[in-house]
Amino acid sequence: MPLHELAGQTPPHDSLVNVPRLISAYYQSEPLVEDPSQRITFGTSGHRGSSLTGSFNEAHIAAVSAALVEYRRSQGIDGPILVGFDTHALAWPAFMTCVEVLSAAGVPFHYQHDNAPTPTPVISQAIIAANRRGGARCDGIILTPSHNPPGDGGFKYNPPHGGPADTGATGWIERRANELLADWQAISRKPFDRAIKGDAAHGVDFIRPYVEALDTVVDMQAIARAGVSIGVDPMGGAGLPYWEPIAEHYGLDLTIVNRQVEPDFRFIPLDHDGKIRMDCSSPYAMADLLKIKDRFDVAFGNDTDADRHGIVSPEGGLVNPNHFLSVAIDYLFGQRPDWRDDLKVGKTIVSSSMIDRVAGGLGREVFETPVGIKWFQPGLTDGWLGFGGEESAGATFLARNGEVWNTDKDGLTMGLLAAEILAVTGEDVWARFNRLIDSFGQPFYARRDASLSDEQKARFKALDPDSLAIDTLAGESVTGIRTRAPGNDAPIGGLKVETANGWFAARPSGTEPIYKIYAESFRDPGHLEEIFAQAEQVVGDALNG
């Protein structure tokens, strides 16, 4: 896909979403239930859509909230549900609809008492902390489409383990919600002004408990003692209300470089394709922070629900997410004396093989899964997985004492971990990754997208490794062809082809009509291009029959 001519620049006015029209469509437009694109569909991170395309409207949120009420009752979940939302324009209307349904059903819910937004990792950590204390089990909802464009909305469900719901739960909720969608106006609701003041509603403070618990997972005192200067760009998202309390509580030299919050996100530079996307792993969306990177020892950004991280080094600029995962693993497994000696390293099927090499050097086993942070939850909860991360700049890790911290992506702690690494070792992430290169080689990694029809998407699921005519890849013998993840034998929804010094993987997007090809070489950029060329041919032949 060619780079947009305005990538990295301030959005022109005609690229901004019309917020009044967006909100009006949420309430005025009704989905066509016979149209698959306007039904409720849970991808890797919940249901996402836009009111302007009939895929995220009042009807959807009423139906999915009512379905969730039924699901949690069927599972014996009778404690409060913790509800958070981000700063997308559709998040507040969706919050209102959601609590109207919860209140009418008599389901107790907790929300941030001052109506400030709440990051995904905060809800995850709060669920775990509450259920650790015992009593009736609680779970959570986060109304967010993550880093998606300003016109999108999202609904995520996190059950009592704190992480994203598995396919069993989301499949049940999705089916029931679509049944309710046909007659959504019959769903019982209590008007918002009564619901938010009713017996079911409980305004709480999510900020202070999360801030005070941070020292259990990151060495905050080390950061403060070292006087590390930190720059933070919340990118107009839910992390903004958290950074000032964090800095004050721990005495950090921390500057919030951007305090703007606008529902059209007019202050976010355009991404590679000319869209506004609050993607902290994109050098284009992060262009403003990169311009001032030399003012800080370390800087980082978070996406709109603060579950992703983008680490900026004064020398190296925006650090590739795969590179930071490798550095984080190398550091954590050497600097957490209370962690078990047999803890595994979690990575997704499309994350860099540098992680495998680093884990091998540490004598640790790699647990490789399909795409999605949800696959790491059982290992984190049960204490046999120390770290779980994915190439899209999302990760989480155990507390310093080896207990579970949270089971969803946590961009706040990942940013602070970059500061801890600098404080403790005297080297920033960029310098430490270059030391890993000296030990394990230089990886060359990229991702490319291509259009995908519904028919081709179905063929992805039916791919058979034995039917693929590929014995060599970019001049090297193929050592493995996978359609299932080696860590848990779960289907990856595509395929991965491996050699000694390279690999590619292809899988359809869960939210867009495209498929993604990921590739990596440990030889040189030319070898990476050879891998891509052959990958595009192999995948194209398979999808076209």
Of residues 45, 146, 282, 392, which has the active-site annotation? Answer: 146
Helices and strands per DSSP (H, E), number in the chain: 17, 23
- CA dist., res. 251 & res. 244, Å (int): 10
- CA dist., res. 412 & res. 409, Å (int): 9
How many C-alpha atoms does 404 have within 13 Å on its Cβ side? 28
Tokens representing residue 458 in the block: 């179905």
Q: Which helix (H) or strand (E) holds 6?
A: none
In DSSP terms, 394 is beta-bridged to 308, 390
The CA-atom distances, in angstroms, between 395 and each of 26, 215, 279 are 32, 18, 15
- The DSSP output letter for 308 is B
Whether the Cβ atoms of residue 309 and residue 414 lie closer than 8 Å to each other: yes
Q: Where are the beta strands (DSSP E) in 485-525?
A: 491-498, 502-508, 514-521
Ramachandran category for residue 76: left, alpha or beta (phi over 0 → left; psi -120 to 50 → alpha): left
- CA dist., res. 310 & res. 335, Å (int): 22
Whether the Cβ atoms of residue 101 and residue 195 lie closer than 8 Å to each other: no
Cβ-proximal residues to 410 (8 Å cutoff; 6+ apart), any chain:
121, 124, 125, 306, 307, 395, 396
The CA-atom distances, in angstroms, between 240 and each of 51, 82, 352, 434 are 26, 19, 30, 32
- The DSSP output letter for 3 is P
Cβ-proximal residues to 434 (8 Å cutoff; 6+ apart), any chain:
none
Tell me the chain's radius of gyration from C-alpha atoms.
Answer: 22
- CA dist., res. 509 & res. 527, Å (int): 26
Instruction: Calculate helix-pair angle for 91-104, 19-28, nearest 10 degrees.
Output: 30
Supply angle C-alpha 518, 519, 523, rounded to 5: 165
146 counts as catalytic? yes
Spacing of C-alpha 514 from chain mean position? 19
In DSSP terms, 140 is beta-bridged to 82, 158
**Catalytic residue set:** 146
